[in-house]
Amino acid sequence: MIQFDRATVARAGHVIVEELSLRVLAGQSLAVIGRSGAGKSALLAAAACMLPLHAGDIVVDGRSARREPEAVRRTIGYVPSRLPVWPGIRVDEFVELWAAEGGLRGEPLRAAIDRALSLAGLERRGHEPLEALDDGHAKRLLLARALAHDPHMLLFDDPFGGLDPVERRELERLVADAHLMGRTVLAAVDDGDVPACFTHLAVLREGRLVAAGAADPAAFSGDKRFRYRITSRGRAEDAVRSLRGLPVEAAAVDLDHVDVVFEPATLPASRLVAAVVAAGIPVDAAGFHPTWTAQLVE
């Protein structure tokens, strides 16, 4: 479990995250979303004890980031958004340093390094300099390094940036498997497009937590109405008429598409589609437009 208790993070006297309180339980995977500069990366770096707290505390598995940073580092696996600039260090040395900080020694350390390099697809490149890696392999190495000591907590900063579709799906499976195994996952997602592998969301705005809850639009629609698009080729106006009587705002965008503004907490999206189909109008596609998580950060 990760408990943020009025956590405040500052750089050069400027507050980046202010008095944030939030709890992420074991078995939950939480995506932190918000616009650029909202404080997502700083929050994760503080949880990983890579950035000092200005005030408050972060407690990871019962250990305080302020008082026991070394113990916290052994508990978490942290994946920053990009590989650090570290001239002269080899790929295997990079993994070794972090695995050793996780408390591994001797044969378990060697096995962890080999396992991490294999996971990253770098079995034959361990002796190459770190700067020789392309973006894809660098991201995979960061992930492998974070998993080397089998941590209970996984912290990902911009986990999907620079990944191709196959690598993205693999990482989504890893997140899903991690929380199913009882691990805690916390990720800063930059584009607001949060995949279904996350169980919970938190929204930051200018360093403050403005909303948090289960990864379900109904949990966030108290003060937010969402846009939903229904595609009925050549029947958009008919589809609009079929939605009359429902507590929505519906308008035809063109001959084929209808945009609907509604509150999922009071009316599930399935009711929108059902009303159109019940009127004898075929539905070719339907879904939030853009994704509902992206709408939260608009």
For the chain, domains (ranges, CATH) are 2-215 (3.40.50.300), 220-296 (3.30.70.100)
pTM of the model: 0.88
8 Å CB contact between 266 and 2? no
Q: Which pLDDT value is given to residue 12?
A: 85
Interacting residues of 122 by C-beta distance below 8 A, sequence separation 6+ = 91, 133, 137, 140, 141, 144
pLDDT averaged over consecutive 10-residue blocks of the chain (298 residues)? 97 93 95 95 95 96 94 90 83 84 81 82 87 83 82 90 83 85 92 91 96 94 90 98 96 98 95 97 97 93
Interacting residues of 190 by C-beta distance below 8 A, sequence separation 6+ = 36, 40, 158, 161
Cα 29 to Cα 155: distance, rounded to the nearest angstrom:
10
8 Å CB contact between 243 and 287? no
Phi, psi (rounded to 5 degrees) for 135: -60, -40
Q: Which pLDDT value is given to residue 193?
A: 87
Q: Which pLDDT value is given to residue 168?
A: 86
Q: Which pLDDT value is given to residue 293?
A: 95
Q: Which pLDDT value is given to residue 221?
A: 81
Q: Which pLDDT value is given to residue 47?
A: 96
DSSP assignment of 78-112: EE-SS----TT-BHHHHHHHHHHHTT--HHHHHHH
Phi, psi (rounded to 5 degrees) for 154: -120, 125
**CA dihedral for 288, 173, 62, 7, sign (positive or negative):** negative
Cα 78 to Cα 65: distance, rounded to the nearest angstrom:
14
